[in-house]
Structure 1
């Protein structure tokens, strides 16, 4: 386990847990925290002992968006400085979204603005019923620019317009009905539940298959139908040659459980 000023990083049972650790600031984001998150996710991506990543928040909030002091600082930046800063957040989101390993968000409190963005880009997101979700940027004269790219893909244009234009907060139950998160789990059970989901991914699925499946989903969203199908056919053929596929099919035929 190692700590940075804004996050903690811990590995156990092939699961890397990255925890936002600014409870006194409701785990709000600033430039330093974004850079720390990028470093932690890069470490997990490069570590062959890690198969699944869990993103969590310490304290009563998952992440309340941008830090107020940070927002004040941005007012003094020129366009070039703000663009450089915005690209850091862009890279973090892109790196999480395209990461070869499965990312699970464990949301035990409010996920607002940038925090809701982190919940949006995770592969799987589970929240306590008490958590609230929302993209409140328009209420302070800002825009949910980066997250809009991911949110429209995830929940569709109509629901994305509802959340992004109104800036309203919704319950975890409503977020689940929109497809923003996967499920609500009681507060006293969510940690064990997420741990079990992560552990099951580690033991019941091939790392290569998880990686390739994530790429297939992205390609299906990004490419026209014909191109997506052609890409899927090629990936299908290539995966058949992968050692994981040979191992898994061999175990299936022998009525054994493969050791992933």
Structure 2
């Protein structure tokens, strides 16, 4: 993959996707949107990629929309705006539905769409220097494409506040409201990210993909007969797979399963 706005780095079984527009704080434009969508699609399809880490070069994780790009769109016809908005919405959906575990490494500002990226990833590890915000209303717009993922991350009640006030959210507050799973000092951030990646690599890849699909299936659902039957079928089906048989055999045999990384 040859990108203008991204750098892809392999660290063992993990792929690190670095947004590389530091001069504009990794702000979104049509190129970054297209390249992020392609990168996550391609990496998620590679069997030797077990986790995808999203990070940003420079001072910021991502400052959201590139204002020059937004200004161009404000003068464009509705049809062009809609096509562009669909591409942006597709990016967040692509990240949020990856079968591979996804992790946002947020070292600085994650504003607007940047907060959307952090929310769309399965896991968010933030520096104590990180700042978040859904800042759109201060520009006269709304956090629409990122809305489903931010609401999923912080909950409806918190969204009512932050979608309307656009206040900056500290790393500590992001952790308290559920946006960031972990907060680390800047010098310890990469080590903490690697610890989470190492934990991810111990799980079966098929099981991890099934686990995230399970969350989407049961979240906010009434526990009725249909849901109970669905969960029963999921575990019954998964138990018959070679991966499950290998996992159980490895546990009983007191050895590592075949999918775990070998010695470095």
Q: What is the distance in 2 between the residues matched to 1:109 and 1:74?
A: 27
Pair 1:141 & 2:153 matched:
no
Q: What is the distance in 2 between the residues matched to 1:134 and 1:250?
A: 47
- Give the match for residue 213 of structure 2: 215
- Give the match for residue 185 of structure 1: 184
**What are the within-5 Å matches in structure 2 for residues 77-88 of structure 1?**
77-88=76-87
- Give the match for residue 173 of structure 2: 174
Q: Which runs of 5+ in 2 are unaligned?
A: 260-264
**What are the within-5 Å matches in structure 2 for residues 42-57 of structure 1?**
42-57=41-56
Q: What is the distance in 1 between the residues matched to 2:114 and 2:227?
A: 31
Note if contact 1:251-1:258 (Cα within 8 Å) is conserved in structure 2.
yes
Pair 1:94 & 2:93 matched:
yes
**What are the within-5 Å matches in structure 2 for residues 62-141 of structure 1?**
62-141=61-140
Note if contact 1:153-1:221 (Cα within 8 Å) is conserved in structure 2.
no
Q: What is the distance in 1 between the residues matched to 2:91 and 2:174?
A: 23
- Give the match for residue 235 of structure 1: 234
**What are the within-5 Å matches in structure 2 for residues 221-260 of structure 1?**
221=219, 223-226=221-224, 227-260=226-259
Per the normalisation by structure 1, the TM-score is 0.96
Q: What is the distance in 1 between the residues matched to 2:8 and 2:146?
A: 24
Q: What is the distance in 1 between the residues matched to 2:186 and 2:36?
A: 25
How many residues are aligned here? Answer: 258
Cα deviation, residue 222, structure 1 = 5.9
**For structure 1, which segment, 153-162 or 29-38, has the greater mean C-alpha deviation from structure 2 after superposition?**
153-162
Matched position secondary structure for 1:236: helix
Per the normalisation by structure 2, the TM-score is 0.94
Matched position secondary structure for 2:17: strand
- Give the match for residue 262 of structure 2: none
Cα deviation, residue 3, structure 1 = 4.7
Cα deviation, residue 12, structure 1 = 2.6
Which aligned runs of 4 or more in structure 1 are off by greater than 3 angstroms?
A: none
Cα deviation, residue 196, structure 1 = 2.5
CA RMSD after TM alignment: 1.3
Q: What is the distance in 2 between the residues matched to 1:114 and 1:17?
A: 19
Q: What is the distance in 2 between the residues matched to 1:107 and 1:101?
A: 19
Note if contact 1:16-1:50 (Cα within 8 Å) is conserved in structure 2.
yes
Cα deviation, residue 195, structure 1 = 1.8
- Give the match for residue 155 of structure 1: 154
